[in-house]
Structures are given as structure tokens and as C-alpha cells.
Amino acid sequence: QSVLTQPPSASGTPGQRVTISCFGSSSNIGSNYVYWFQQLPGTAPKFLIYRNSQRPSGVPDRFSGSKSGTSASLAISGLRSEDEADYYCAAWDDSLSGWVFGGGTWLTVL
């Protein structure tokens, strides 16, 4: 059971916009930054969004993040087949003194 809660799956067609939610609590999302990672099958996680809504260089602006209270979301617009992957949210948890992750959301591009 993950500390952060994500839907196990999401889907969309090419060109569509999809959002993936991440729910936490006051000790993690409520008081710290949220991060998002993309994991293609068989590869290491990739740094996708940091500090709630910032994109590292090289990440397309189709990817965006937001946070409100104890929840966060990742939005992907102009969906492409290569976006099919697992997406994880993460945040530092002050009570646990450690990073906590969501269970991951598998995105299918139909």
C-alpha cells in the first residue's frame, strides 16, 4: 500500500489530453514539493516534473504539473504513442523522514 495514491491506469487517444492524480496528506504533499517520474518499460525512471510544476530541460511542454493542498496532478496534452509508460508521483514525507511514492499509473495510448 503506497503512501501516495494514484489511479492504477489511465488512457487516451493520440492528440488527447489526459490527467493523472496523486493524493497525499499534510505530512507529504501538503507541506513539500511534488515530483513526477516517467518510466518506460525496462528502463530507469526519468525525472519529469519537479517542485510541483517545473520541467527539466528536454522535457516537452506537453507535460505539466500542478498541486493544490494535499493533492497533485500531471497533465499530458497532445498525447503521443511514446508517452505510453508508468508515471509515478513522489514527495518528501516529514513524518516518515523519507521519500514516498505513489503506486504508479500505467498510461495506455489507444
**40 lies in the site for other proteins, by CB under 8 A:** no
Residue 55 binds other proteins (CB under 8 A) = no
d(CA 11, CA 9): 7
Among 12, 24, 65, 104, binds other proteins (CB under 8 A): 104
Among 20, 32, 35, 76, the residue binding other proteins under the rule CB under 8 A is: 35
Residue 23 or 101 having the CB closest to other proteins: 101
CA 28: distance to chain centroid?
15
**Would you call 72 helix, strand, or coil by DSSP?**
strand
What is the per-residue burial (b if ≥16 Cβ within 10 Å, else e) of 12-49? beeeeebebebbbbebbbeebbbbbbbbeeeeebeebb
User: Residue 104 Cβ, how far from other proteins at the closest point, in Å?
Assistant: 4
Binding site residues, other proteins, CB under 8 A:
2, 35, 37, 43-47, 50-51, 56, 88, 90, 96-104
